[in-house]
Chain A
Amino acid sequence: MIVVENLVKEFRVPEREEGLSGSLRTLLTRRYRTVRAVDGVSFDIPAGSRTAYLGANGAGKSTTVKMLTGVMTPTSGHCLVNGLEPYRNRRRTARRIGVVFGQRSQLWWDLSVPDSFRILRRIHDIPDAVYQRNLRLFRELLDIDALATTAVRQLSLGQRMRAEIAASLLHDPEVLFWDEPTIGLDMVLQEAVRELVNRVNRELGTTVLLTSHDLADITSICDTALVVDHGRVIYQGRIDQLLSTAGQRCVIFEYRGGPSPEAVAAEVEHALPGTRVRLDGQRVRIDHPVGLLSSREVLSFLLERVDLTECYVPEPDLGTVLKELYTRNGHRGRAPGGAA
């Protein structure tokens, strides 16, 4: 569905010099510096998958999405969406993709949401049945009727995002590109958006490519991750498998009676080498390396020693796993957005 081969995008940015004298100098001689925003990336995304495109800030995610949606032409390399090179077939591509750029509105600034939708319906030639079905869906899940006749420029960020998301889905696109879509959405709406994407993915087989700083969005919407660092793909595969590569796991529990928490902590660290125990009131947290111990071993030890009342074995969190992944690949820069 999406094929990317050795994709490169370079920008020529004018060098700025400091101070007034610097400004005067740049007035006469302007020097340029080349920024390589996307550095020879290759990947392949099958139809019907829901992929999170992950990478540090400035890793070139938005730039890649701009090339995939046809608004930018690569410096070299190429990409195919639905078998078309988007930047060479912009209008034909536009008919088959849905796009949200969190940073920039796709709607008509001075028009209300229903007016924008009427325009989209016409320019996409959306059949009546499809249009009505989708509107019903958006009413139910995104409560778009509440946006009524307010001009888009007067909507709050969260309201505008709801409209943007709905607009990107209105014409039943085959591929969705969402670049930082859920900034400003509250918990209830995040849930609704997740439900919406999962429904169109299930019913229409829509392919989804998402970039987000919000790790909760990523884990709730996507099943696959594509992690890019310094222009190279350093992981492509299922998110649950990515999570299972975590080097550290933890078990959190509470117990009744018996020895003091400090005594339990000392005992655990002694009996299970490599673990680290943290106390939080009545709650005890055991972090253990995956290679040496399994959660099962930790649990069976605990079941024997103390009278457990509560016990949690949470899934390793994506932020930590990504940080490990970057470190393993020699990345010394910032961690990906939400994990920082």
Chain B
Amino acid sequence: MNPLRPAFRYTPFVTGSLQSLLRYRSMFAISAVTAAASAAMMIFLWRAVHSSSPDGPPGGFDTAELTTYLLVAQILGLLHANRVDDEVSAEVYRGHVAAMLLKPVSYPAVRAFACLPVIGTNALFAGLPVLLLFALLVPLNVPRPVDALLFAVSAVLSAAVAYLVNLLVGMAAFVTTNTWGIRLMKQTVVAFFSGQMVPVGLMPDALAAVTRLLPFHTMVDSPLTLLLGRYDGVPGILGVLGLQLLWTAVMCAVAALVWRFAVRRLEVLGG
């Protein structure tokens, strides 16, 4: 028997999600414009800080590196906008999760497969145009091929962590109806602690220490560390990727545990 057979069961969720995405094409334009605007704002803000600082570039970042960091951080943000939190909380709220329990599939897996096209189309129709646009406008750091490759691997892990974070946020709908507030809170926390606004290397020591204890920095800071080659040889690479893997595993376990609790909770709500 084909070992991939169980995965094939989930293909309709991939195609279904792609279909509904293509129906709302204007969304890509909005995502792209939002990402471009934030990137532009961050870049000019940092440039202003840069030029006013007398003792050269902070933390060893030169202008092109910092620009690349801030731009790619926004593009990673597009890969993290997988809509899993919205979908899960909506389905919990409308009671559709109960119906999924009667199907021979795992609900978290369904959501994982359904978010693949969201990530893919976001990357293609919003991320790529933004990257090209900025490449024309501002000087960027061109990564070494090996670093680009490491970045790709790291970006996949960062998308996995983003999915798990959003899954957990979505499941908050089991205990509260104010999922909007929770999602907003998550956005702020992630934007800050992932390193999307400030590279972890530039944070004050105490804050950087806290950030490194949280999973969020593996979403942005880790892939960018690899992309910009800011690591010490092979042990450095293994350290970054290892930490990402570890956090992916831990978050998986937490999500599985919470999901089990949530199913119980569903009974109480009258599944």
Binding site for B on A (CB under 8 A): 11-12, 66, 69-73, 90-92, 94-95, 99, 104-111, 115, 118-120, 122-125
Select A94's contact among B5, B8, B16, B102, beta carbons within 8 Å: B102
Residues of A within 8 A of B104 (CB): 91-92, 94-95, 123-124
Provide the main secondary structure of the chain B interface: helix
Q: A272–B20 Cα gap in the complex (Å)?
A: 74
When the two chains form their complex, are residues B267 and A122 in contact, meaning their CB atoms are under 8 A apart? Answer: no
A109-B94, A122-B12 known; A66 vs B271 contact (CB < 8 Å)? yes
Q: Which among A70, A91, A92 has the highest number of chain B CB atoms within 10 Å?
A: A91
Q: A59–B266 Cα gap in the complex (Å)?
A: 21
Residues of B within 8 A of A69 (CB): 102
Residues of B within 8 A of A70 (CB): 101-102
Q: How far is the CB of B157 from chain A (nearest CB, A)?
A: 27
B95 within 8 A of A: yes
Select B105's contact among A107, A108, A111, A123, beta carbons within 8 Å: A123
B245 within 8 A of A: no
- Apart from A91-B104, A95-B104, A109-B94, 9 more pairs, CB < 8 Å: A66-B271, A69-B102, A70-B101, A71-B102, A71-B267, A71-B271, A90-B101, A106-B99, A110-B20
Q: How far is the CB of A287 from chain B (nearest CB, A)?
A: 43
Q: A125–B6 Cα gap in the complex (Å)?
A: 9
Select B99's contact among A105, A123, A124, A125, beta carbons within 8 Å: A105
Q: A119–B264 Cα gap in the complex (Å)?
A: 26
Select B12's contact among A11, A104, A118, beta carbons within 8 Å: A118
Residues of B within 8 A of A119 (CB): 12-13, 16
Residues of B within 8 A of A124 (CB): 104
Q: A91–B101 Cα gap in the complex (Å)?
A: 8
A122-B11, A124-B104 known; A115 vs B95 contact (CB < 8 Å)? no
When the two chains form their complex, are residues B102 and A123 in contact, meaning their CB atoms are under 8 A apart? Answer: no
Q: A122–B103 Cα gap in the complex (Å)?
A: 11
Q: A12–B268 Cα gap in the complex (Å)?
A: 8
Q: How far is the CB of B12 from chain A (nearest CB, A)?
A: 4
Please, what's the 1-or-0 string for B90-104, where 1 marks a CB less than 8 Å from any CB in chain A? 000011101101111
Some 24 contacts from A to B, beta carbons below 8 A apart, are A11-B268, A70-B101, A70-B102, A71-B98, A71-B101, A71-B267, A71-B271, A94-B104, A95-B104, A99-B102, A104-B98, A104-B99, A105-B99, A106-B102, A110-B20, A111-B16, A115-B16, A119-B16, A120-B103, A122-B8, A122-B11, A123-B9, A125-B5, A125-B9
Q: A123–B105 Cα gap in the complex (Å)?
A: 7
B187 within 8 A of A: no
When the two chains form their complex, are residues B8 and A73 in contact, meaning their CB atoms are under 8 A apart? Answer: no
- Whose C-beta in chain A lies nearest to the C-beta of B13? A119
Q: Which among B13, B101, B106 has the highest number of chain A CB atoms within 10 Å?
A: B101
Select B271's contact among A72, A99, A111, beta carbons within 8 Å: A72
Please, what's the 1-or-0 string for B232-271, where 1 marks a CB less than 8 Å from any CB in chain A? 0000000000000000000000000000000010111001
A71-B102, A104-B98 known; A122 vs B9 contact (CB < 8 Å)? yes
Q: A229–B10 Cα gap in the complex (Å)?
A: 42
Q: Which among B20, B101, B102 has the highest number of chain A CB atoms within 10 Å?
A: B102
